[in-house]
Amino acid sequence: MSSRWTKPRPSSSVLQNSGESRIPRRRTVAVRVLLTYVVVTVAFAIEASWGVFALRNAGREADLIRRGYLPLTRALRDLVTLQDTWNTQLNHVTSARNPADTRLWFDTAIRIGRPKKFSEVRAALTRAFLATHDRANVTFGNELNAEIRFVERVIEHDSEQLHQLFNALETGQLPQAERLRDSLVRRGLTVHTRLARIDQRVLAGVDAIGESETIRERFAIGLLIALSILTVIVGILMALLTRQLLAPLVNVTQRARAVAKGDFTPQVAVDSRDEIGELASTFESMVAAISAARERLLTSERLATIGKMAAHVTHEIRNPLSSISLNLELLEDEIPREAPEARTLMRAIQSEIDRLTQLTEYYLSFARSRSAKLEVVDIQSLVTDAIGFMRRDFERRKINVEVNALEKPLYVSIDEAQFRQALFNLVRNGAEAMPEGGKLQIAILQSTPQFATIEIDDEGTGIDPELATRLFQPFVTNKPNGTGLGLVVTQQIVQSNGGTIDWMPLVPCGTRFVLRFPIANLVNLPVDDAARV
């Protein structure tokens, strides 16, 4: 059943309260102006904070280059230069005229030169990377430190081989000396390649810092330009905002003039979340309340007129109609069966008499209006019994009635006789909307912990959209021969029993009427009602 729901049409009670529901949360004009300035202030605060952050990063990176990268680069270059000199000396060691001087240079390089340069590289490496709190810098420093230690392990046997080399030269073992020289030269080239690679990685780090500074500078310039443009835009918006804040006053004034001339048509309130918007919403609520009061007054006047007419119609028409109906039955018994045309005419007359009798009953429902005598009853049993009473009429109309109820009783406090009349009116309307037969569904459910709901669905032609907003007004009907009083009586009964009634169209066709009644509090029931339940 739920798949046939469509968007419900607003009832009259909803329209009366629509003005209150449209009142937006109050936001004063001063607050709106203040918010605008807050946006600008926050934007400049963000830019200033980012500028301080950028300057701090730039200072740290400049200090890193000055105290770390530059000393490390110089130490690496000195180490590479020393290694180049080492390789050059090795290339000419076998042809040197005075090997003793060459040996002295190598001994000095091994004992003093190399350790000093490697120490300077490690110290600069520690200052540049390992002493920082940046995880990426520490990782990079550990990688470079591992490379340096690898180079040191590679050259740790140079002293022994140099000793063998110079011993071979002193003893005249030239082939042995050349083999040792070639081994040292190859190792020196490996060391040179490793040191050059380390130097390139350090230079790449310097270049990355430079690129980062360039990007940060461009971003700062772009942010400054954007904030400047934002400042100009905010200034323009402030001027337009002042004009816009006062513009709704013109609409409110025009609306007040229209209402003064009698135009109570509901209008959409000014969509402005400030004092002006609240004034417009309150004004529309007042107009809706006045319009609803006028409708209630008009309805009361109509009902009062109907009540007066009902007394007169009851006295002048009902009794003659009963006599005519009785005499018509006697006359029909006198007509022979061989006269079908006469019998058809008699049935047509009886149908019109029944229609007039029903019309007088509708009028009498207003004349006999009484207060509801509330009793606690099981709404499911009451609906089932009422539908069972009308079962034969449904079969004659080819109406298939389906009642869906809960497994447990659902108690409400209502007037049983009045509820039956209201239910009969709605069910009869649904059946009359399906002249060729169809399916009528009645669902009884507990929509909320406080309310019991009765849904009556038909597969009829539906309700004319032009009558949607006036459906519960007297003399408004969707049927060619209807009186327009059935739904009015039904609404009065439901409201006098503390319930509500609403309706909505179904897809692809049909109408759903929804009755809601408060669930009875069985704890606080009188003794008689509690015993009966």
Q: What is the mean pLDDT of the chain?
A: 77
Do 492 and 372 meet the contact criterion of CB atoms below 8 Å apart? no
Report which DSSP code applies to 275.
Answer: H
Stretch 346-357: mean pLDDT: 76
- Rounded CA-CA distance 126/75 in Å is 13
The CATH code of domain 296-364 reads: 1.10.287
Which helix or strand (DSSP H or E) is residue 386 part of? helix 379-389
Which distant-in-sequence residues (6+ apart) come within 8 Å of 25 by Cβ? Answer: 273
What per-residue confidence (pLDDT) applies to 7?
A: 38
pLDDT-based confidence at 421, cuts 50/70/90? confident
What per-residue confidence (pLDDT) applies to 178?
A: 84
How many Cα neighbours within 13 Å face the side chain of 191?
28
The CATH code of domain 370-532 reads: 3.30.565.10
pTM over 0.75: no
- Rounded CA-CA distance 420/495 in Å is 14
Q: What is the pLDDT of residues 254-310, one digit of tens each?
A: 778 877 877 777 676 566 666 667 777 787 788 778 877 777 677 666 666 666 666
Structure tokens at 268: 């959409």
Q: Which residues, listed in sequence order, are joined to residue 511 by a DSSP beta bridge?
A: 458, 505
CA terminus-to-terminus distance, the chain: 31
Stretch 452-478: mean pLDDT: 81
Helix 275-313 with 174-260: angle, nearest 10 deg: 50
Residue with tokens 């091994």: 110
Q: Is the pLDDT of residue 15 over 50?
A: no
Beta carbons within 10 angstroms of residue 236's beta carbon: 9
Do strands 500-505 and 438-448 pair parallel, antiparallel, or not at all (unpaired)?
A: unpaired
What per-residue confidence (pLDDT) applies to 174?
A: 83
Among 220-234, 270-284, 328-342, 440-454, the range of highest mean pLDDT? 440-454
Q: What is the pLDDT of residues 163-210, one digit of tens each?
A: 888 888 888 888 888 888 888 888 888 888 888 888 888 888 777 777
Instruction: Fill in the amino acid letter for 175.
Output: P
What per-residue confidence (pLDDT) applies to 17?
A: 42
- Rounded CA-CA distance 321/357 in Å is 7
Beta strands, E only, 160-250: none
Distance from the Cα of residue 452 to its chain's centroid = 30
Report which DSSP code applies to 10.
Answer: P
Do 515 and 491 meet the contact criterion of CB atoms below 8 Å apart? no
Q: What is the pLDDT of residues 358-379, one digit of tens each?
A: 667 656 655 555 667 888 999 9
- Rounded CA-CA distance 454/360 in Å is 29
Poorest-pLDDT segment among 58-67, 99-108, 461-470: 58-67
